[in-house]
């Protein structure tokens, strides 16, 4: 109130002062244009100027307001489209996550038509169409996604590759991924998809070439990468002989197999499963002496119970030397049940029956296993000790079949 009062006083003072000026000196203004002249006082001209400004301002507002409805209508329509698109997108994504593919495709497709950024809607709708098995609709939606956002070629291509892979369209998928590799050579997801396609195509050579990039980019988890690497070179070993003509001689097969083995990375050269498979392949082409040599060298470098067990199953070129090598390992591994089992088998090959029996019994006492029990029982029967073999099997029935349920049994009859 105080400020308003002061303002009124200032206005009254200014009005009084202006009024006095108008009385004392009204001023004179002359405007001449061609033969027309206008004469008036200065104060009247000032009043006319102020009124003219107010009139112009009023007319401008009328014209502006006359144009506003069109602008407002356009803004309302844009807001409505945005809200509708947002609502349908939300419903479509919820339906997609719930597995309601029909509703998801309908809602997302309708939202894409109103959306300023339709890419996500088209890609999600394409997935919904794919889940329904509607290949034509899925392809059309992917094409719409590509047309709506040309700069998203990699994203659309990845979605297309996923659908192609799921359909089993391996060749088109491979062509698509190779194209994407050129556009985005460091894209890790493209690498993973490419790995999956090669695996489905059984193209292990291609995976072997891709492995260094998968390692460098860390596109695959370390544990999965180790397994992939092992699987790749295992298949390369197997296929090295499978792709050869039937009439190929063993010498040529041996050469091809050796080349495949030499391609193994250093970290896999001592992997028991790979070594075992390599040995089995050598045996299959009548290269058992070579197999014994390779296996002996592997065991000497890196001890493996699995490989030691395998060593007793092959026959080297010199059986006495083979036996001697195995006995040398016993000094450092006296409690190895697999080594004692192997020594028992090598003793049989050298026809030292009593020694074989002793090794088998030692092995079985350290680790009762079905394999050792079978060897021991077989040897006893051939030594003429069938009753002892029968007693041994009866006493160790749980080793032969260790998954029998607990059931009541009748009492043994007294003699």
Banded model confidence at residue 405, pLDDT cuts 50, 70, 90: low
What's the predicted TM-score (pTM) here?
A: 0.65
The pLDDT value given to residue 249: 86
Q: For residue range 52-79, what is the model confidence (pLDDT) as tens digits?
A: 777 887 777 776 665 555 556 566 566 7
Cα 127 to Cα 111: distance, rounded to the nearest angstrom? 15
Confidence of residue 335 (pLDDT cuts 50, 70, 90): very high
Q: What tens digit of pLDDT does each residue of 166-202 get?
A: 999 999 999 999 999 999 999 999 999 999 999 999 9
CA–CA distance, 224 with 116 (Å, rounded to integer) = 40
Surface-to-core class of residue 366, CB atoms within 10 Å of its CB (0-12 exposed, 13-18 middle, 19+ buried): middle
Pick the more confident residue, 95 or 200. 200
pLDDT at 345 over 90: yes
The predicted pLDDT at position 173 comes to 94
Which region among 86-90, 277-281, 352-356 has the lowest average model confidence (pLDDT)? 86-90
pLDDT digits 0-9 by tens, 382-401: 999 988 988 888 888 777 66
Q: Where are the alpha helices (DSSP H) in 350-414?
A: 353-366, 370-382, 386-395, 397-400
Indicate whether 413 pLDDT > 60.
no
At 410, is the pLDDT very low, low, confident or very high (cuts 50, 70, 90)? low
pLDDT at residue 308 in the model: 93
List the one residue out of 304, 315, 367 whose CA is nearest residue 341. 367
With 90 as the cut, is the pLDDT of residue 326 above it?
A: yes
Helical pair 188-200 and 204-217, crossing angle rounded to 10 deg? 160
Q: Given a cut of 70, is residue 26 above it in pLDDT? A: no
> Whole-angstrom Cα distance, residue 192 to residue 162?
11
The DSSP letter of residue 29 is E
Q: How confident is the model at residue 362 (pLDDT cuts 50, 70, 90)?
A: very high
User: Mean pLDDT, the chain, as a whole number?
Assistant: 84
The more confident residue out of 67 and 132 is 132
d(CA 71, CA 349): 100
Q: At 415, is the pLDDT very low, low, confident or very high (cuts 50, 70, 90)?
A: very low
CA 112/CA 179 separation, integer angstroms: 27
What's the rounded Cα separation, in Å, for the pair 154 and 183?
7
Residues 6+ apart with CB under 8 A from 281: 237, 238, 240, 241, 257
Check pLDDT > 90 for residue 247.
no
Share of the chain above pLDDT 70, in %: 85
Per-residue pLDDT at 412: 52
Whether pLDDT at 244 is above 50: yes
Q: What residues have CB less than 8 Å from 345, skipping those under 6 apart?
A: 312, 313, 356, 375
Higher pLDDT, 63 or 339: 339
Pair of tokens at residue 386 = 């069938």
Q: In the numeric block, which tokens belong to residue 268?
A: 């896999």
- Band of pLDDT at residue 320, cut at 50, 70 and 90: very high
Phi, psi of 399 (to 5 degrees): -75, -40
Rounded to the nearest 10°, the torsion over CA 143, 144, 147, 150 is -80
Of 108-117, 118-127, 205-214, least confident by mean pLDDT is: 108-117
CA dist 238 and 243 (Å) reads 9
The CB density around residue 4, as the number of other CB atoms within 10 Å, is: 8
Per-residue tokens: 317: 């070129």
* Residue corresponding to tokens 């040897």: 379
**Which is nearest to 121 in space by CA: 89, 158, 150?**
89
Decide if pLDDT at 259 tops 80.
yes
pLDDT the model gives residue 29: 65
Statement: residue 81 has pLDDT above 80: no
Both structure tokens of 64: 């502006």
Whats the size of the chain, residue-wise? 415
């Amino acid at each position: 109130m105080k400020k308003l009062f002061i303002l009124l006083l200032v206005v009254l003072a200014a009005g009084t002062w202006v009024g006095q000026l108008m009385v004392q000196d009204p001023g004179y203004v002359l405007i001449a244009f061609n033969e027309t002249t206008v004469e008036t006082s200065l104060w009247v001209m000032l009043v006319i100027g102020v009124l003219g400004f107010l009139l112009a301002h009023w007319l401008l507002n009328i014209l502006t307001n006359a144009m506003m409805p069109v602008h407002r209508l356009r803004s309302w329509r844009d807001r409505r489209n945005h809200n509708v698109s947002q609502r349908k997108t939300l419903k479509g994504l919820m339906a997609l996550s719930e597995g309601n593919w029909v509703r998801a495709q309908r809602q997302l497709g309708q939202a894409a038509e109103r959306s300023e950024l339709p890419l996500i809607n088209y890609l999600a709708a394409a997935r919904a169409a794919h889940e329904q098995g509607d290949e034509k609709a899925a392809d059309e939606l992917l094409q719409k996604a590509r047309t709506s956002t040309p700069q998203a070629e990699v994203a659309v291509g990845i979605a297309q590759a996923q659908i192609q892979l799921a359909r089993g369209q391996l060749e088109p998928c491979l062509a698509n991924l190779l194209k994407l590799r050129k556009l985005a050579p460091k894209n890790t997801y493209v690498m993973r998809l490419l790995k999956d396609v090669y695996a489905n195509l059984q193209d292990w050579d291609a995976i072997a070439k891709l492995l260094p990039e998968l390692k460098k980019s860390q596109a695959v988890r370390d544990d999965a990468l180790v397994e992939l690497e092992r699987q790749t070179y295992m298949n390369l070993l197997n296929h090295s002989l499978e792709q050869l003509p039937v009439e190929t001689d063993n010498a040529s097969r041996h050469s091809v197999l050796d080349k495949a083995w030499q391609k193994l990375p250093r970290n896999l050269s001592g992997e028991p499963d790979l070594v075992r498979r390599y040995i089995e392949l050598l045996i299959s082409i009548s290269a058992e002496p070579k197999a014994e040599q390779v296996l002996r060298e592997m065991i000497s470098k890196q001890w493996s119970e699995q490989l030691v067990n395998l060593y007793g199953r092959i026959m080297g070129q010199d059986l006495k030397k083979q036996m001697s090598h195995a006995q040398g390992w016993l000094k450092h591994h006296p409690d190895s049940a697999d080594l004692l089992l192997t020594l028992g088998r090598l003793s049989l090959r050298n026809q030292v029956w009593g020694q074989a029996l002793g090794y088998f019994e030692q092995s079985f006492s350290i680790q009762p296993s079905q394999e050792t029990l079978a060897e021991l029982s077989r040897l006893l029967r051939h030594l003429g000790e069938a009753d002892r073999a029968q007693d041994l099997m009866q006493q160790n029935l749980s080793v032969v079949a260790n998954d029998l349920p607990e059931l009541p049994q009748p009492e043994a009859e007294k003699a």
